[in-house]
């Protein structure tokens, strides 16, 4: 009689599963975390590691507005369809967005005509007002986050805090402004040409802004523009500080000299009744 083949023991299968999916977790107290971060900050290589991680986080954060606009585009296309058309008309001095198709199958834009100033229309970057609002919102989000990252990086910089913060913020501001202008120009151009595909303006805006922003980042890294700006500001700051120190020394010496001369003249006046002028 043939023996029946038995499946592996349940305990063995469980052990194999646990072994394959094993993870190691390290639990640190608040004091240990503070001590670890302090040790990293004291070490030059540790500061460089933290600065590198902040740089990666800053780069990822810069694409948050792009991801937000793409999510709005996805929701818009799901609602009106990939081939959905939006036509813009002006009546009594007000601009309206007219949605083609059957409104009954839409969940967001259930009507056929909306003012371009309608909050729902603006939220999905439809029309000139919506594109302008989206650009401003994205630029604001970028600059607030970049200021926070630049502030942290300035504490870790080899140069002075002020020169690092001003230099990186200046170059970031320039990149944000140029990419925002490119996105706005692309979206506005699509509207001017009368392209009625619903997602075309926001797609063009995102594509142009992303391309210009990425190109500026690459140009900055290749040519070290930010580092050069920080270095120039640092040199100016050192010269200004040196000049200020020299000026303070000269004023201090001049003040002491005049004070001593005043005391001598007063003594001579008290003794002789005349003041000597030299």
Q: What residues have CB less than 8 Å from 221, skipping those under 6 apart?
A: none
Q: Please give the pLDDT value at position 5.
A: 47
Decide if pLDDT at 150 tops 50.
yes
Decide if pLDDT at 3 tops 50.
no
Q: What residues have CB less than 8 Å from 55, skipping those under 6 apart?
A: 153
User: 131, 187 in Cβ contact below 8 A?
Assistant: yes
The pLDDT tens digits for 158-168 are: 667 788 888 88
What separation in angstroms does the CA of 109 have from each of 96, 190, 236?
13, 21, 56
Decide if pLDDT at 136 tops 80.
yes
C-alpha radius of gyration, the chain, whole number: 33
Decide if pLDDT at 1 tops 50.
no
Decide if pLDDT at 71 tops 50.
yes
Query: Which pTM value belongs to this model?
Result: 0.69
- What is the pLDDT averaged over residues 74-90? 85
Q: Please give the pLDDT value at position 275.
A: 45
Distance CA 225, CA 64 (A): 24
Helix (H, G, I), strand (E, B) or coil at 2: coil
Which of 48, 62, 49 shows the shortest CA–CA distance to 217?
Answer: 62
Q: What is the mean pLDDT of the chain?
A: 78
Helix (H, G, I), strand (E, B) or coil at 114: strand
Which of 217, 220, 218, 192 shows the shortest CA–CA distance to 204?
Answer: 192
* Tokens coding 118: 């309608």
């Amino acid at each position: 009689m043939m023996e029946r083949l038995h499946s592996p023991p349940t305990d063995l299968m469980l052990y194999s599963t646990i072994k394959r999916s094993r993870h190691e977790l390290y639990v640190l107290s608040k004091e240990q975390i503070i001590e670890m971060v302090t040790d990293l900050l004291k070490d030059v290589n540790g500061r460089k590691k933290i600065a590198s991680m902040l740089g990666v986080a800053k780069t990822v954060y810069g694409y948050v507005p792009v991801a937000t606009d793409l999510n709005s585009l996805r929701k818009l296309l799901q609602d009106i369809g990939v081939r959905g058309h939006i036509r813009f008309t002006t009546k009594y001095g007000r601009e309206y967005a007219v949605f083609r198709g059957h409104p009954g199958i839409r969940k967001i834009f259930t009507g056929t005509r909306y003012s371009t100033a309608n909050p729902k229309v603006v939220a999905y970057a439809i029309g000139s007002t919506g594109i302008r609002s989206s650009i401003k919102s994205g630029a604001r989000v970028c600059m607030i986050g970049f200021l926070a990252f630049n502030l942290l990086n300035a504490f870790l910089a080899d140069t002075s805090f002020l020169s690092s913060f001003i230099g990186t913020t200046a170059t970031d501001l320039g990149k944000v402004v140029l990419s925002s202008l490119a996105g706005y120009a692309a979206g506005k151009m699509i509207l001017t040409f009368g392209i009625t595909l619903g997602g075309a303006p926001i797609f063009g805006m995102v594509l142009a802004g992303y391309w210009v922003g990425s190109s500026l980042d690459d140009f900055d890294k290749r040519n070290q523009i930010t580092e050069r700006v920080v270095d120039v500001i640092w040199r100016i700051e050192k010269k200004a500080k040196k000049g200020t120190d020299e000026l303070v020394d000269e004023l201090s010496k001049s003040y002491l000299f005049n004070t001593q001369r005043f005391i001598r003249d007063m003594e001579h006046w008290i003794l002789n009744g005349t003041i000597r002028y030299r």
